Structure 1
Amino acid sequence: MTVHSPVTASLPFIQLDTGRSRTAPCHAADRGRPPRRLRGLFAACLSLALLGGEATAQEGGRADPPLSPSQQYGALFVDVQMARLFPDSKTFADAVARRAPADILRDYEAQRSRPGFSLKAFVQENFTLPPEPATPPGDGGRNQRPPIDKHITELWAALARPAVPRPDPGGSLLPLPAPYVVPGGRFREIYYWDSYFTMLGLLQDGRRDLAQGLVDNFASQIDSWGHVPNGARSYYLSRSQPPFFHRMVGLLGRADEESDTPAAADQRAQSYARYLGQLKREHAFWMDGADRLAPGQAHRRVVVMPDGAVLNRYWDDRATPRDESYREDVETAAASPRPKDEVYRDLRAGAESGWDYSSRWFADGRTLATIQTTSLIPVDLNSLMYGLETAISEGCRWARDAACTRHYRTLALRRHAAIDRYLWDGERGFYVDYQWRSGQRQVALTAATVLPLFVGIASRPQADGVARAVQGQLMRPYGLATTRVDSGQQWDAPNGWSPLQWMAISGLRQNGHAPLARELATRWMQSVDRVYRDTGKLMEKYDVEAQRPGGGGEYPGQDGFGWTNGVMARLLALYPDALRSSRDRGSSPQRAGCRATPAARGQDETAAAACD
């Protein structure tokens, strides 16, 4: 396997938040032109921008990363995506060329202006399109479906894929040295943060082989690219996703993450030590440029606050439409008065967050065109970075490197203090994001508020405040709502997502709110089970107000589904009675999980309020 350097490891330091973008002249030139001329001009500008953007990646003799489809095919790629040739923009981004790209582009230029030329026929002749998403193994009907736990166990084989040591050079897939698990549906490749939640179920069901493969694949990606890409496609290389690699490594050491015994801590530390090089390299990726910034400045994923504290934001190293959502991004940018490259960057950064998209990122709290992801310091990202720094410190402790232990422990402690200073809203009693350009905390409450509990940095009063906010403002009849805003985006109300349910449940359990955690888990589990019994499917997301699959966003609902399966399998082990109670005659889903004794419920006032 060819080993590549990070896409932007050698980028020179640039103050990215001031001055003009290198692609601004192109964007200024295309304003007001008719659509056909816009496409041609945009393709030319795109080629120039990409050539300029990639030139720095060759400095210092580092190897080039593979080109994305938009970089390889230029005007052809733009024309296909803007013509809506496929309902899903990801289809062409995942296509595999039947012959050399240079030959395809030469013939395209020669044929495109001829009378009767068919763009669709040209694509079908020169590319192999990805197959339609396979339907997970089903059954003969509602009355013949196996219990959900058995179905999840059977699904692992359907979602597993063999190693890809040498991908087809005509496609966008990246090499992976070990077998892996895909989410399902249109998501045909491995994804970063999804895989942690998938691992919960793999380990619960005894599939340590697949869990080990996921970790080894991500370690290989860090060695190859300097970070874990969003997904295993060339068009994802310019960004990552929430940094969960250390949590996956910890799971290999000790699947029961909540155990805080000395023996459990040592098991996790030993696992961290095994992957210490990759953990440090991932940390360096997220912290690139931190040592060259003055207070109030930002570079890539790092922001230095006015008091010198260093926190992180989401980012993407490209400022063009996403290959997998090309037309959608062009249309969003056209609806914004801002420079297009700024909108593209914020859209891409929103994709790095995993919350693509949510009113959480919108300046007006409603409209995608006002997206401002790079202007926000997210509480979830910085909580996970605290976890990464702590994991490295623990790995260094196991390796008996005292200086390393102290260094990363100091970084974690400083980050903890900065999270308390900037991201804790003492007046309202929960964690929020921070708009670093305006110097103001965000107003919106989102499910990301549970992350400090999940990573173990919330004090008891802080945990109590978050528990009250969860129970009083985010809990719905069938689980935890992502936000309180119904914007039509998929990471907003009324949708709930398995990763957010798990982190809330785990965080509450660790911080003295076990009854409330059980209440939340039971509501969610009963909804997932009900939809499965009705449809035979496990979905990517769910409507927590109506006990049905979730909606909204850029694509139809997907089934499969890796992280739903993983979280559900783990919850079934933690709460084996939850589904039995939901099937009792006359059981109310709003009151499910309220069968604990009054004494047990009395340990948590918010849980008691939910049940009384």
Structure 2
Amino acid sequence: MALKLAATSIIAALVTTASFAQQTPDQLYGDLFKAVQMKKIFGDGKTFVDCTPKRSITAIMADYKRNAKDTSTAFLKNFVAANFEQPIVPKVTNDAPDNDVVAHINTLWNTLKRASDKKVNGSSLISLPYPYIVPGGRFREIYYWDSYFTMLGLKESKQYETIENMIKNFAYLIDQYGHIPNGNRTYYISRSQPPFFSLMVQLLASIKGDAVYKTYLPQLTKEYNYWMEGAANMKITGAFKRVVRLNDGTILNRYFDEANTPRQESYAEDVATANEAAAVYASNKRWSSPAAMNKAIAQYKKTIYSHLRAGAASGWDFSSRWFADGEHIATIETTDIIPVDLNALLLNMEQVLHYANTVVKQPTKANYYLKQYNKRYKAIQQIFWSNSLQFFVDYNFVKQQQCNIIAAAGMFPFCFNNMDSKMPQHTINDALPTFKAQLLKDGGVLSTPLTTKQQWDAPNGWAPLQWMSIWALERNNETTLAADVAKRWIQLNTTVYKNTGRLMEKYNVVNTTLAAGGGEYPGQDGFGWTNGVLLTLIKKYGAATN
């Protein structure tokens, strides 16, 4: 624990967004940025950070400073309208949906495709050298883990060049920043997302052959080094960046963002959460002086911002998985938690690195990754399996106990075959009663069974979690149940499309007549990973029956 706190303070002092290649909106626009976000000039905090300036940033800020005494909402709205171009959202809804959702998806690929980028001064967009697919709606850039599930559908549409271009973009980002950011925005550089790059490489290799592993081995290695940074030097229990060392010396990983300020795209929301958490924190302690209290509160807010940012890095922003009380976001403790799905994905990365080094005839390196794989595999079986819940769950290393929240993340370990049949393992049969009772609903698989008004909790289901659950069932010979889950999801997606002309970011799987809800922004349509998973499932299991 002491190491964790020391590492965090060092990072806070040394790592700032100023160290990155492109400046972030808060650096460019300072007090103007804070005023626009805190007064909620736009209904969605992401809008302003995606705006582009109409003229010189220096001129814009000089004019703002001359008028800084006018803090009214009306002035800010007019000033922003006069000086910034708002991002454009292409129309993706079909106003006259017919029975062929597959045709609609194949049409949408062109709508969601972006050409290689041209750098725009003052824009938060990180230019990418190759065309790519965006999710849709407010998500106007490439997203890391979204893209794998989008690629599944692109493969079914035989858009192999687009798949490869997206992987080239991710390789470019790894070479530029040492990791794949959450998305290609400057305000996302300080964190990554669930590491699906190794699965993308496997997907491309299934199309083009094993030469793909040789091509992307340098980037696979760099990404692994990003996730494992500091592991070799950890001699005592604690955490450093994305690495955690347990009491017995076991090394596992957590989500982590290298900044400890409010997220720029959700600035007002994060400030409100930190204020709420700090009020409870302050009321539960006795203070020697107001100055001491204020200093402690300021540091505590930084901790909350770190937890919020790590929650965003997880892709599950937000969920009861990360809350100490399982209900309220003000109790968030993401960086204290070792997530089971993250470590399952890193297990796959180690397996792919083992295989890729075998392909290029590097037996020493291949053997190294095999050893790392074996260590992580055993740890997953021992640390994340809950005998009481009969399911894989997350682990809180600060409290030194398993989390008691069941989530679809617990299906991830079943997606990756172990390379040694002699290793002890918990089988899918052990987990099925819990899966069926807690997570399986009429429309598919819940994120968690808890209702918290967070979007990664009940009643919502998400395409990536359907895919991983179905994949886990298929790979463990539960083909009948896999088909059942797939058909529930296909039916729900298709029914919503026929009724609305929309393919949504998330769905209500409990009451399939209602829309999904919760979260920091309205429901988005488009939608990259929904399209990819739905198209792939229809190809394998058939279209909806009515």
Task: Give the match's secondary structure for 2:257.
Answer: coil
> Does 2:151 align with 1:163?
no
8 Å Cα contact 1:137-1:155 kept in structure 2:
no
Tell me the CA shift for residue 471 of structure 1.
1.4
Match of 1:196 in 2: 148
**Which residue of the other structure, out of 256, 268, 280, is the alignment partner of 1:327?**
268
**Which residue of the other structure, out of 518, 523, 526, is the alignment partner of 2:483?**
518
**Which residue of the other structure, out of 54, 69, 74, is the alignment partner of 2:16?**
54
8 Å Cα contact 1:429-1:462 kept in structure 2:
no
Match of 2:103 in 1: 150
Tell me the CA shift for residue 467 of structure 1.
2.3
Match of 1:208 in 2: 160
Match of 1:545 in 2: 510
Structure 1 pair 461–386 and aligned structure 2 pair: CA distance change class (3 A): closer
8 Å Cα contact 2:253-2:343 kept in structure 1:
yes
Please list the CA deviations of residues 432-459 of structure 1 after superposition, one character each: whole Å capped at 9, or x if unmatched. 0000001101111100010001122496
8 Å Cα contact 1:312-1:382 kept in structure 2:
yes
Match runs of 1:130-279 below 5 Å? 130-131=87-88, 133-136=89-92, 138-139=94-95, 141=96, 145-164=98-117, 166-254=118-206, 269-279=210-220
Match runs of 1:93-492 below 5 Å? 93-113=49-69, 118-131=75-88, 133-136=89-92, 138-139=94-95, 141=96, 145-164=98-117, 166-254=118-206, 269-337=210-278, 338=281, 339-457=300-418, 461-492=426-457
Tell me the CA shift for residue 115 of structure 1.
9.4
Q: d(CA) in 2 for partners of 1:55 and 1:222?
A: 17
**Percent same amino acid among aligned pairs?**
43
8 Å Cα contact 1:137-1:158 kept in structure 2:
no
Q: d(CA) in 2 for partners of 1:115 and 1:308?
A: 54
Task: Give the match's secondary structure for 1:558.
Answer: coil
8 Å Cα contact 1:190-1:232 kept in structure 2:
yes
Structure 1 pair 232–300 and aligned structure 2 pair: CA distance change class (3 A): same
Q: d(CA) in 2 for partners of 1:466 and 1:520?
A: 15
Tell me the CA shift for residue 428 of structure 1.
2.9
Q: What is the TM-score with the length of structure 1 in the denominator? A: 0.82
The count of corresponding residues between Structure 1 and Structure 2 is 519
Please list the CA deviations of residues 180-231 of structure 1 after superposition, one character each: whole Å capped at 9, or x if unmatched. 0000001000000000000000000111121111111101000111100000
Please list the CA deviations of residues 98-126 of structure 1 after superposition, one character each: whole Å capped at 9, or x if unmatched. 23333322222222125988122222222
Q: d(CA) in 2 for partners of 1:108 and 1:205?
A: 49
Q: What is the TM-score with the length of structure 2 in the denominator? A: 0.91
Q: d(CA) in 2 for partners of 1:560 and 1:452?
A: 29
Match runs of 1:24-63 below 5 Å? 53-54=15-16, 57=19
Task: Give the match's secondary structure for 1:327.
Answer: helix
- Greater relative contact order, per chain length (Cα 8 Å cut-off, separation 6+): 2
Match of 1:571 in 2: 537
Let me know the Cα RMSD of the aligned residues. Answer: 2.0
Q: d(CA) in 1 for partners of 2:209 and 2:332?
A: 38
8 Å Cα contact 1:467-1:508 kept in structure 2:
no
Q: d(CA) in 1 for partners of 2:439 and 2:8?
A: 41
Structure 1 pair 534–414 and aligned structure 2 pair: CA distance change class (3 A): same
Match runs of 1:14-29 below 5 Å? 15-18=3-6, 21=9
Please list the CA deviations of residues 276-319 of structure 1 after superposition, one character each: whole Å capped at 9, or x if unmatched. 00000000111111112123211000001111111000000000
Moved more, 231-240 or 202-211: 202-211
Match of 1:561 in 2: 527
Please list the CA deviations of residues 8-41 of structure 1 after superposition, one character each: whole Å capped at 9, or x if unmatched. xxxxxx9442488589xxxxxxxxxxxxxxxxxx
Q: d(CA) in 1 for partners of 2:405 and 2:376?
A: 22
Match of 2:294 in 1: none
Task: Give the match's secondary structure for 1:409.
Answer: helix
Give unmatched runs, 5+ long, in structure 2: 282-299
Structure 1 pair 200–317 and aligned structure 2 pair: CA distance change class (3 A): same
Tell me the CA shift for residue 323 of structure 1.
0.7
Q: d(CA) in 2 for partners of 1:115 and 1:205?
A: 52
Please list the CA deviations of residues 368-389 of structure 1 after superposition, one character each: whole Å capped at 9, or x if unmatched. 0111000000000000001011
